[in-house]
């Protein structure tokens, strides 16, 4: 079954982090990605640009409204994702717990719905 592992973190804290800490974190993500690939669980994954670069689109009264910025103000922002293939939710949760994002933010795990 396919699962989306969404990585939420505090952008302000990440922006204030020391360069050495960021290099260590990038190394941890690289090792995590390689472990997913080696296990055959990796489908896709990427980091996202800062939430300030987001554009929100909605239809109201039949007209498209385009707004700069994220939809909601929150303490933690969606920073990236992994799309994985796991046999069940327990396995997906185990992968989420191993993600470096779990140690500095929150991981949201959701199964993909077959369309």
Q: What angle (nearest 5°) sits at the alpha carbon of residue 2, between those of residues 95 and 49?
A: 70
pLDDT tens for 6-54 read 999 998 888 899 999 999 999 999 999 999 999 999 999 999 999 889 8
Helix (H) or strand (E) holding 12: helix 11-16
Write down the pTM of the prediction: 0.88
- Spatial distance between the Cα atoms of 53 and 79, rounded to a whole number of angstroms: 12
pLDDT tens for 75-91 read 789 999 999 999 999 99
- The pLDDT of residue 76 is 85
- Spatial distance between the Cα atoms of 11 and 9, rounded to a whole number of angstroms: 6
CB atoms within 10 A of CB 73: 8
- The pLDDT of residue 69 is 72
The partner residues of 47 in beta bridges, in order of sequence, read 80
Position 72 confidence tier, pLDDT thresholds 50, 70, 90: low
- Spatial distance between the Cα atoms of 101 and 114, rounded to a whole number of angstroms: 26
């Amino acid at each position: 079954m396919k699962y989306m592992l969404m990585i939420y973190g505090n952008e302000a804290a990440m922006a204030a982090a020391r360069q050495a800490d960021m290099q260590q974190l990038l190394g941890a993500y690289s090792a995590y990605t390689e472990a997913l690939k080696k296990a055959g669980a990796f489908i896709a994954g990427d980091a996202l640009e800062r939430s300030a670069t987001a554009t929100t689109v909605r239809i109201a009264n039949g007209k498209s409204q385009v707004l700069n910025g994220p939809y909601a103000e929150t303490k933690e922002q969606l920073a990236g994702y992994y799309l994985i293939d796991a046999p069940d939710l327990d396995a997906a949760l185990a992968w989420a717990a191993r993600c470096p994002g779990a140690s500095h933010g929150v991981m949201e795990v959701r199964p993909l719905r077959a369309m």
